[in-house]
Amino acid sequence: MDENSRAARHRRLWEADHRHLWHPFTQMQDWLAEEPIIVDAADGVFLVDTLGNRYLDGVSSLWCNVHGHRVPEIDRAVEAQLGKVAHSTLLGLASTASIECAEELARHLPAGLTRIFFSDAGATAVEIALKMAYQHHQLRGDAARTEFVALRGGYHGDTIGSVSLGGIDLFHRIFKPLLFDVHHAPQPYCYRCPLGKERATCGMACADDVEAIFEARKGKVAALVLEPVMQGADGMIAQPPGYVRRMREICDRHGALLVCDEVATGWGRTGTTFAVEQEGIVPDILTMAKGLTGGYLPLAATITTERVFESFLAPYEEKKTFFHGHTYAGNPLACAAATASMKLFTERKIVAGLPAKIAALARALEPAARLPHVGEIRQRGLMVGIELVRDRATKEEYAYPLRAGHEVILEARKHGALLRPLGNVVVLMPPLAMTEAELEQLAGITIAAIEAVTARI
């Protein structure tokens, strides 16, 4: 295509986008005033737009890219499945693709997690976890356990149940009248400790506050739900090591279930297949989506122990049925993509290759720590948040209208990297397939963009 027809096509698509599309998590007034990047193609860890520009995919589409784009093995698996059957239901029927997917998935799970309930998005996986936890206690005759505990700053998706769990004021506060009550515990955010303590001497007092909620609501808590190791959407808030282990102990002491939401942290993101492995614990329920298919197609899973599953077993007892299901649960195309992605995860020894990449990214980001407007760099594996501050000494934040994070991503685009900020936090979530050289390039662009923007605003 010559340059003129390419520009004309871009213009036509841009106009159509602005006429019809309503983008998620986007201030549409700003969107309509700006020229969009229109992704047209991809290869490896690069996205290509309608004008032919190539960008490093610095946030893995939406945190879900594992092996890169257009992976021949996954492409072929989906094509082969298209030649058989594209849709199915798990309601009263089984399907080859979903059985094979579950079988492969079981090979990767922490020991003890065995029962897989498929759905189609991270938020639905969390909704399912909530209903399962609640019904589990009801069926065991523990009818008072109807309440949930979650963390401030938590994010579990955008449906009503997951928003009820959510603890990000900006996203969640407005919907409060629609939500059910959840007990929110202080956020383990050591850089800005909500309890005003210092990490070296705090004795993890924020964990004691979680336990205090369980004490106050004795026998009433069904489950504690959290993002293990790192809270993502609130700005990559890394938990102190041992925090999730403490949460496991608290749940055990108080007879509640622990639900770990690994929608963002799962599939190698934090350096192990699942983040809970780093804490040496197994939750009662684990949720996943995103990286399960390598980011290819919508598929999510809510996975439980035998103990939870067994609560639902009884011949001809209607009330023990789990009344929940989605039309696209275990869709064969998505399952075929997931099976291929998980096999590659093993064959390519993804986890074994991560330490060198994680170290390379950390090394490449070292100069950022010396920048006058970088407050903290939080990294767990290939999940990074760089918190920008107006004043390092006082940790004063940039005011919202300055849109510091947004300005940084606009600057990074000029140098060939696509990023997405969370407020004043610049996020890096590169595909696990990025090479060390590409990670260094991504870090270099990010640092240059932060320097340019913070010098200006």
Known binding residues for substrate are 155, 290, 325, 420
Given the structure tokens 């798990």, which residue do they identify? 90
For ligand PMP, the closer of residues 44 and 166 by Cβ is 166
What 3-state class would DSSP assign to 134?
A: helix
CB neighbour list of residue 401: distance below 8 Å, 6 or more residues apart: none
For ligand PMP, the closer of residues 238 and 374 by Cβ is 238
Binding of ligand PMP by 104 (CB under 6 A): no
For ligand PMP, the closer of residues 62 and 205 by Cβ is 62
**Cα 123 to Cα 184: distance, rounded to the nearest angstrom:** 19
At 73, phi and psi to the nearest 5? -65, -40
Binding of ligand PMP by 238 (CB under 6 A): no
Q: Which of residues 279-318 bind ligand PMP (CB under 6 A)?
A: 289
Binding of ligand PMP by 58 (CB under 6 A): no
Q: Give the single-character DSSP code of 234.
A: T
Q: Which stretch binds ligand PMP (CB under 6 A): 75-83, 155-163, 271-279, 399-407?
A: 155-163
The radius of gyration of the chain from alpha carbons, rounded to an integer in Å, stands at: 22
Binding of ligand PMP by 376 (CB under 6 A): no
Binding of ligand PMP by 234 (CB under 6 A): no
Binding of ligand PMP by 74 (CB under 6 A): no
Binding of ligand PMP by 405 (CB under 6 A): no
Classify residue 191 as left (phi > 0), alpha (psi -120 to 50) or beta: alpha
CB neighbour list of residue 323: distance below 8 Å, 6 or more residues apart: none
CB 308 within 8 A of CB 284: yes
Binding of ligand PMP by 375 (CB under 6 A): no
Beta bridge partners of 427: 385, 420
- Cite the annotated binding site by residue number: 122-123, 155, 261, 290, 325-327, 420
- Bridge-based pairing state of the strands 221-226 and 257-261: parallel
- Bridge-based pairing state of the strands 46-49 and 54-57: antiparallel
Binding of ligand PMP by 328 (CB under 6 A): no
Among 115, 136, 137, 156, binds ligand PMP (CB under 6 A): 156
The binding track of 114-143 with respect to ligand PMP, each residue x by CB under 6 A or -, is -------xxx--x-----------------
Residue 364: Cβ within 10 Å count: 19
CB of residue 62 to ligand PMP, shortest distance in Å = 6
Among 44, 58, 232, 268, binds ligand PMP (CB under 6 A): 232
Q: Which residue ranges make up the site for ligand PMP (CB under 6 A)?
A: 63, 121-123, 126, 155-157, 227, 232-233, 261, 263-264, 289
